[in-house]
Structure 1
Amino acid sequence: MKLAFSSNAYLKHPFDETAARIAAVGYDGLELLADVPHAWPAGLLEGPKRAIREAMAKNHLAFSNINAFMMNAVADHRQPYWHPSFLEPDPSYRRVRIDHTRRALDLCAELGAPHITTEPAGPIPPGMSRAQAVDLFVEILKPLAEHAAKLGILLLIEPEPELLLERTDQYVEIHERVDSPALGLNFDVGHAFCMSEDLPKAVAALAPLTRHYHLEDIAATRVHHHMIPGDGVIDFAEVVSAIKATGYDGWLTVELYPFQDDPDVAAKRAYDVLKPLIG
């Protein structure tokens, strides 16, 4: 397995500096934020794309993932990460999320990254039943998964508290109904802990569908707030051991976006906890 760090903790730094800082800590990979200020796909010209490739090569980093979950560039007043969602009542506004996801897939293929991650449909809007929300999400995902397949990359869904898919096992229905080899699960360990999932059991059960992991710690309250590994109560030795037991040999990406004021310290402390466990 390989350890990466997400650039979404470095929103106050340009990408070339971000890559250099992440590499200096010792990480082998970087998760690129498909958003401002690093790589908003809708406005990313060839020059900035070339600069991203050059920064990655200069710092001997590989892409672990393209994070298309966040949409800070839209600056929706309700929540800058979840909205616009795939379940927006206004079809035109919903289209903003769909088009962003398609552009992120294109960017992923251009940069040679393995996959993108996106939200699990967003919050269920008032007046929409859960069944209706699932049906809508499935129909939206089908052409996106088809596009990912044509590009030779993966589209990964990340369950999260308060959204349509909160638990990792809720992803299974979506996977079966979309029925595409280009669709997979992004298993966020912290999110699963927030939902009181038994982490080793969930890791084992979802292993056939999991294509990438996000790591962050969570407090004993199980409130959804990303913490540096070692500061919360998640047993990462147990989690990493469970992941190893599945035969997974891909990326484990640390995601600590709340630590924008001092991302270097957060990245280093997380690395010091996790690297010995990975080997």
Structure 2
Amino acid sequence: MSAHNGTAPFRFGYGTNGLADLRLDDALALLADLGYDGVGLTLDHMHLDPMAPDLPARTHRLAGRLAELGLDVTVETGARYVLDPRRKHGPSLLDPDPDDRARRVDLLIRAVRVAADLGAHAVHCFSGITPHGTDTDTAWKRLADALTPVLDAATAAGVPVAVEPEPGHLLATLADFHRLRGHLGNPEHLGLTLDIGHCQCLEPLPPADCVRAAAPWLRHVQIEDMRRDVHEHLPFGDGEIDFPPVLKALAESAYQGLTVVELPRHSHAGPHFAEHSLHFLHQTAETATRTPSLAPVPAPPHGDPSATPEGSTPS
């Protein structure tokens, strides 16, 4: 069963997109055994395939397993090829073809239903990259129009949609998130996924200040290390982020959901990095909440030879 190990108010999870070489039940058992509080469940062909038959029945069985293991859950929709075996993250909410946009909308509505059945605290999504030849105003209109039925489903289900600013996407920054909210009339069930590494990568504010600025809209948090101007998800200690101020800002916010480790390029050594990450986060949380000086916590070496990235591509 999961345990906090004295780091309340934090609830840490690990993303199944970083455990893609494990069967879902094995991944969940691993996370519970390590002491995680929850899981960021990416709906994908190997982990609760959202397009395969009998999704409600499979979701019901998974809900029982999560309850048995004591794991909370967020539903994530960033699978690379779940809709199109040839286009990474395609089709998107911005595609010129309305039928293609509808396929992504359908996936997100399925995800909302899965989240409601699992008791998940949010459904994560992102805008997608602006297609070549599409002007910015058209792209924003497509995004708002496409998300409207998703938000209707989320409102009916009582599950917030947490859109993620993603480097290189139309919606890339916190400012872009507020632009979307304005387009949609500030709907109650539209919230924010804040990826701490993305803050380090491209936001003008330091990551801890991003947490404070985003706090009223936070519905999901992803966390990993990263370097400025380089969109590469890194194990803790391999990037530039000073994490105690980040966790202190999270502790002082009203955020009640999971903080999920996001290492999709490290599935080849997923169990190793899951263990390493939770150890680091627990140490950092203790520093953030109990040490006034907020001295940085060095990440312990993760030098298992099998943990060397193997020619992976960006998430």
* TM-score above 0.5, yes or no: yes
1:62 matches 2:72:
yes
Task: Give, in angstroms, the shift of residue 71 of structure 1.
Answer: 4.3
For 2:82 and 2:198, locate their aligned partners in 1 and report how far apart those are by CA, in whole Å: 24
SS at match of 2:268: coil
For 1:166 and 1:228, locate their aligned partners in 2 and report how far apart those are by CA, in whole Å: 22
Determine which of 172, 196, 209 is the counterpart of 2:217: 209
Query: Contact 1:15/1:52 (CA < 8 Å) preserved in 2?
Result: no
Deviations 1:136-184 (A, max 9, x none): 1111112211110011111110011111011122101111322211110
Q: Residue type of the partner of 2:254?
A: G
Deviations 1:19-56 (A, max 9, x none): 01111211011111111211122215244323312321
For 1:246 and 1:53, locate their aligned partners in 2 and report how far apart those are by CA, in whole Å: 29
Query: Contact 1:169/1:206 (CA < 8 Å) preserved in 2?
Result: no
Report which stretch shifted further, 50-59 or 106-115. Answer: 50-59
User: Structure 1: any 5+ residue segments left out of the alignment?
Assistant: none
Q: Residue type of the partner of 1:213?
A: V
Give the superposed CA RMSD: 1.6
For 1:214 and 1:264, locate their aligned partners in 2 and report how far apart those are by CA, in whole Å: 18
1:278 matches 2:288:
no
Determine which of 97, 102, 113 is the counterpart of 1:106: 113
Determine which of 237, 247, 251 is the counterpart of 1:240: 247
Determine which of 258, 262, 277 is the counterpart of 1:255: 262
1:129 matches 2:135:
yes
For 1:270 and 1:222, locate their aligned partners in 2 and report how far apart those are by CA, in whole Å: 23
Number of equivalenced pairs: 274
Query: Contact 1:230/1:270 (CA < 8 Å) preserved in 2?
Result: no
* TM-aligned CA distance change 1:144 to 1:164, over 3 Å: same
Query: Contact 1:4/1:254 (CA < 8 Å) preserved in 2?
Result: yes
Kindly indicate whether structure 1 or structure 2 has the higher relative contact order, using CA contacts under 8 Å at least 6 residues apart: 1
Determine which of 177, 197, 201 is the counterpart of 2:183: 177
Aligned to 2:82: 73
Query: Contact 2:42/2:77 (CA < 8 Å) preserved in 1?
Result: yes
For 2:199 and 2:18, locate their aligned partners in 1 and report how far apart those are by CA, in whole Å: 21
1:11 matches 2:11:
no
Aligned to 1:200: 208
Q: Residue type of the partner of 2:44?
A: D
Q: TM-score, normalised by structure 2?
A: 0.82
Deviations 1:231-277 (A, max 9, x none): 21111111111222323333211111111111011111111111133
Aligned to 2:301: none
